[in-house]
Structure 1
Amino acid sequence: TPTTRPSGRRPWPDTSAGIHVFNDQLADYVNDAQFCFAATHYAGAQKMTRSAADRLRAINPNFLILHYRLGHALGYREVENDCQPTGEWLRIIEGDWWVQEWPGDANVRENWFYHWPEAGTTRVLYCLNGWYLAELNDSAWRTWWQAEVLRQVRANDDDGVFMDSLSVPNYLGAEYYSPALPPMDEAFERAWATRITTWLSWLQTQPLGDYYIVPNVGGWINTRDPTDYSPADGVMIEGFALEADQSPHGLEDWILEINRALGLIARGKAVIAQTYVGGSQERMYALGSYLLIKGSRTYLNIEVSDVPEWWPEYDIPIGRATESAGTNIANLYDSANRVYRRDFDNGFVLVNPTNPWDGTGITRVVNLGGTYYLARTNGGGEVPESGVPTGSVSYQAVTQVTLPPFTAAVLLNARP
């Protein structure tokens, strides 16, 4: 059974070779076979009770777990009846308990909260999820939050904290706040970006800095976003490459997201690329985009359930990359075929990120100059109670591939 260390963290698993998955939340109710599968196939997960963490680490002592907290807010209550926070209390994990996040009206301090207008006294409520924006520059808020989260991380035997929704607030939808925030305001956005960067930098100087600090940066495709996330140990990009099935990012947004990820990867930061798709085309496109950026701490998660899931494309034996984009995906652009290509020990990936809905969509036909083996997937998804995944990969000998908009192809040099 793992023992609790007073501070510190398990290492990020090396992702240089192959495809590596960092799962989201895993349900406590899954059986031993499913838990064993998760422990032996995932690099880690988040939002796990202490007993679930111990159960996973009895199988894999190096399994990483991140504690879940809001990155720039304090959870209050579920919202009902046109943005009224009168529902159930929002809860977070401490040890084996889901505890109320709100510390009680008598314990909160008004200066903890961000107010809008800033000269006023009105707290800002997020109407979709029932949390109040915090004033990240307030020293009392910082001290309380850091101590609270540190205690919970230690109680859970977590390796770090996942800071959800840590983006400039109006990028999450200015109209979803009460009072509404400005939909577009450069001064407001720059001030909040500075708050976030300063907040992350300060946390690294505190005891919590002994653990991983991993904000959720959302899709990271807002061209106005000036936020510098480099003080963090890593990020989750949520909605990586696509928002949903049949909803790929526009070409320019895809390039922006990929280049921002590459900038952190080049600095040795962890990147968790998470998306919510189920279609075979969309999954392969997410995988191809991931393979273009993959470094030594880069993880993919195609999430559909809190039951462990496994997609057959995760098992493609692509090997190690033999080239890198550096900090600019343009370095992997194949101008002859007008697709992005990255070579690996055992094959290569081709990606066509054009988009049929933004006017860039075009099908590319690539002559390969020889025979290669195109990965084709079948099945996959939730791992059944047997703990044995259901999907499979077949390999078709091809000399040419056709890539419609938002598609990717993984080709091996030899049939496995």
Structure 2
Amino acid sequence: MIDVSATKRRILQRLVARGGPAVLDLSLLDSVPRRLLRPLRREGLDPIARQGPGAGDPVRRLAHMFGMNIWLVTGHSEGKAVLADRSRYSNDVRPYVGASGGAVGGLGFTDPPEHSRLRGLLTPEFTMRRIQRLAPRIEQIVDAQLDLMAAKGPDADIVEDFAFPIPFLVICELLGLPAEDRARFQALSHARFDVSAGGTSAFGAISASRDFLLDATRRQRKDPGDGLLGRIIVEAGDEVSDEEIAGLADGVFTGGYETTASMLALGALVLLRDRRHFELVRDDASAIDRVVEEMLRYLSVVQIAFPRFALEDHDLFGKKVRKGDVVIVALARAGRDTRVGPDLHTFEPDRPPPPHLAFGHGFHRCVGAELARLELRLAFPRLVQRFPEMSLAVHPSQLRFRDQSIVYAVDSLPVHLGPAASRPNTAGSRPRDCADRSS
């Protein structure tokens, strides 16, 4: 029997030997080498401590594959410097994914000047003024999900019943997708961040959702809606192509759906495992800003940033990076850098908020960061006020996490809702200032 995986690896090695990394097709990989999965591994909510040679080094070589070094940056200041560097790195992954390159869209995979032009189309949709307009609709979405949970009670699954429906519906509202399209769109969404099946699965999932958004864009080109797709079409006209709009929409979906869903689920777990934190959010409306900011740092659910491809040989904090090498910033580990402050392995919302890279940094920083913050600030107080006696329905050791996913997540979070599950919604007012401040 032919070893298909070994054959693919030999073909890739020959391509690299002939033409260098620029001809490497990552989409052909049917599995990801274990060395590359190490930055994604955690023990519960905590990144696994580094071991072996160079374990304490904030920049170290993770692997050497297909003629290129892959560098891992785990330090906060070092990671921030890499993410801000426009001159020595490229984010354009398209030359590395062969025939799938056309399916890779969004701001995260582009360089200036293309990046600057496309981000200029998207940024006006994410001003605080426009985001604040979504707050009443987000409140309605959250309250509706809580009503469904109460009707389903006395037990529920935070992941299925709360964490995933809320950001999905918010993104659909933001994009302006009609209700009849949403079920189909949701079915395309879940495999995008799981790299355990290799490039074929991941890039196939990206391609399918992007094709869906391209079809939606073409329909709105004829009849623009009042969401993001329609507004870009009306304001930019023929200056932006359908493919570019679909790529932007795909980037918004990528950055705003599964990431926020994971924050909602894992954030709920943080509150449930320590009653002090649960009661803080339940009883003190002024605490939610600092709780959310500490959750972002502590959880850093987007574990690594988009890969950076070195454009030239250079020194990276004492390491010799060659042109064509890949540099990966481990965002979750940077958030636990002990040089930034003590006890960062603990969740402590009462201390001054330490800096973090949960949304990235520099010109590729997540454009939807403030929308994500708003969703979290609205959702958590409503959840714990509606179900003030909510508790985990399983022992924490029974929870199963997605430890081979770029977006870290828990598969299921069963809870007992408590006696309040049968009562009407009492979380009617928004936490003070939650929609009016930018962190």
TM-score, normalized by the shorter chain, greater than 0.5 = no
- With a CA cutoff of 8 Å and minimum separation of 6, indicate the structure with the bigger relative contact order: 2
User: Which structure has the highest helix share of the two?
Assistant: 2
For normalisation by structure 1, the TM-score amounts to 0.24
Greater strand proportion: 1
Give the TM-score normalised by structure 2. 0.23
